[in-house]
Amino acid sequence: MKVKIVGVLLAAAALSFTTAGSAAAHSAEPAAPPQVNGVRLQAAMLPPSSFGTDVSFVQALNSGSKLTSTHIKDHVSSMSCANFEDTTRISVWGDTAGAYLNYQNPHWQSQYPNAILFGDEEVLQFATVASATTFYGQVRAKFAACGSFSEPFDRIFTATVQSVKVVKTTVKGDTAFEVTQGVTLAGFKTTPFYFVDLYVVAGTDVYSFYDSAGTNDEPSPTLMTKFIHQVQALYP
């Protein structure tokens, strides 16, 4: 699984919310939610050091300096479990901007099982609260349906997901769910191994943390709260 294959698909034309004629014609309508671009979202992400002193940066990406099309190119419900979970996509879900950061712990072997091998953080921004909530619900349903499948892990091993547990929760009042997947890794280790995700929807944004580790500990709600606050501070 993750270290993920990372891809960004950008729309040919950026969205614009500043057209003078449009503002005049629809002055009686509620104002659209504020939006920021992917570059700004990237700048608000937590540094890898937030997740541990032994953690180091692997890669990062964002959707760029312009907002992208709300046209949905990839549909969560029609994707295979392996394809959905193994690939990070930005600007294909109808999101107008997004950012992603991946990190690793090069010293995990001496700390196993009490160490994160790989992890990531991601934020996807949607044009409306409704579209963010819809995507969040689709992702939750997809994880719940993916109880047994295999996929590459670290480009060397094969990970077989043998069990899944999806639990509703909250993070400082925001709707959230946690996913715990029990995993075996062919040619790697026979001791327990887990993929654990934490997803939160807050306003027009969907946030996620992911850990691959020897324990099923929840990704930190405290760090998630800080992440959300830093992104929300971008909006007027």
At residue 86, the 3 state secondary structure works out as helix
> Could you identify the residue written with the tokens 């950012």?
99
Torsion of CA 24, 38, 80, 207, to 10 degrees: -90
Q: Which domains does the chain have, with CATH numbers?
A: 5-9+34-232 (3.40.1000.70)
Give the per-residue pLDDT at 16: 34
Q: pLDDT tens, position by position, for the chain (236 residues)?
A: 444 444 444 433 333 333 334 443 444 567 899 999 999 999 999 999 999 989 999 999 999 999 999 999 999 999 999 889 887 889 999 999 999 999 999 998 888 888 899 999 999 999 999 999 999 999 999 999 998 888 877 767 788 898 999 999 999 999 999 999 999 887 766 578 899 999 999 999 999 999 999 999 999 999 999 999 999 999 98
- Please, which residues have CB within 8 angstroms of residue 36's CB and are 6 or more apart in sequence? 97, 125, 234, 235
* pTM given for the model: 0.86
Give the per-residue pLDDT at 88: 80
Write the DSSP string, 35-46: ---HHHHHHTSP
